[in-house]
């Protein structure tokens, strides 16, 4: 199997992995629970593998198409946060679920959105080139959005130290290491070979993360399913409305069809696996249910993407 074949088969691979992880998590609950200790290192490996594929050293390419970038930023950091604020008003009485939903819905995806965009006939190259911008802007704005939406009367008390630790371990260090090795690959054949080998790993690393996350947490999700019910309408509403906001942004900036599809997929696809450790870094009375809310969004999104890859190309036409 070539690397391209592996990448184009990501979706069926992920669905098979998810089903296997659910079965393992339910049939061997005690064993699966111990996999939680692997969540952080598995995500760190995934992030390093993904960051190596992101052209940080060619950031100007992502900024070159100004109308595309404007539509992408408008959709992800103005319209979608307004939608999330409106959808989550009914969760104020459920602080753990609220913080979990906010963490996942306010952060646009930077990894497998490229795959969905490719399958959905969007502009994959522009999506990939824009990922450094999406990552950096969401890291800057997430604390601001959380502060604005949660406010002082939400009953959610957050300690900054666990967030900083998770941010440094899972974002900053893998990103810096990826940038350094990418720079070194331009001067060293050995480092270039190293990078080429890691180019095979995003799909296996994502599969590993799905296994350790879902297998270790699925029992908690099912145990708390009745408490998670309030967040399901939020996720379904997001699934229906977020692509529409992406499409509106693209039309406002008069983007061609392929670029409009890219913005539509970006607005609808969230960064669930990356923010999961942030949910697990919450105070003990919040982390379990918040993490379950994040994982529930992942499961809803994987199903919704199957709908998007068929409807978006049909509806977003030249």
Contact 175, 51 (CB under 8 A): yes
pLDDT value for 10:
76
Inter-helix orientation angle 284-315/95-105, to 10°: 40
State pLDDT tens for residues 28-45: 988 988 898 888 888 888
pLDDT value for 74:
97
The residue ranges of the chain whose pLDDT is under 70 are: 55-63, 152-164, 166
Burial class (CB in 10 A: 0-12, 13-18, 19+), 159: exposed
Q: What is the pTM of this model?
A: 0.81
Give me the DSSP letters along 128-158: HHHHHHHHHHHHHHHHHHHHHHH-SSS----
pLDDT value for 179:
86
State pLDDT tens for residues 180-223: 998 898 889 999 999 889 888 888 988 898 899 889 888 888 88
pLDDT value for 88:
95
pLDDT value for 111:
72
């Amino acid at each position: 199997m070539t690397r391209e074949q592996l990448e184009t088969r990501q979706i069926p691979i992920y669905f098979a992995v998810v089903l296997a992880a659910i079965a393992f998590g339910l049939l061997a609950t005690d064993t699966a629970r111990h996999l939680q200790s692997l969540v952080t290192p598995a995500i760190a490996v995934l992030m390093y593998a993904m960051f190596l594929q992101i052209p940080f050293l060619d950031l100007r390419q992502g900024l070159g198409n100004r109308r595309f970038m404007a539509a992408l930023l408008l959709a992800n950091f103005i319209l979608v946060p307004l939608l999330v604020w409106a959808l989550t008003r009914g969760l104020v009485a459920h602080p753990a679920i609220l913080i979990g939903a906010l963490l996942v819905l306010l952060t646009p995806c930077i990894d497998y959105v490229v795959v969905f965009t490719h399958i959905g006939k969007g502009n994959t190259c522009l999506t990939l080139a824009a990922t450094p911008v999406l990552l950096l802007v969401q890291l800057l704005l997430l604390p601001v959005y959380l502060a604005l939406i949660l406010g002082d009367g939400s009953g959610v008390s957050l300690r900054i130290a666990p967030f900083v630790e998770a941010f440094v371990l899972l974002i900053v260090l893998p990103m810096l290491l990826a940038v350094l090795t990418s720079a070194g690959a331009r001067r060293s054949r050995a480092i270039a070979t190293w990078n080429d080998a890691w180019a095979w790993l995003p799909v296996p690393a994502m599969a590993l993360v799905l296994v350790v996350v879902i297998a270790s947490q699925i029992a908690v999700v099912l145990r708390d399913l009745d408490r998670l019910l309030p967040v399901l309408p939020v996720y379904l509403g997001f699934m229906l409305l977020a692509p529409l906001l992406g499409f509106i942004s693209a039309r406002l900036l008069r983007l061609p069809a392929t670029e409009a599809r890219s913005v539509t997929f970006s607005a609808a696809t969230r960064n669930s696996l990356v923010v999961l450790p942030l949910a697990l870094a919450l105070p003990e009375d919040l982390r379990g249910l918040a993490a379950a809310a994040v994982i529930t969004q992942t499961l809803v999104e994987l199903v919704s993407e199957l709908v998007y890859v068929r409807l978006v190309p049909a509806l977003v036409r030249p």
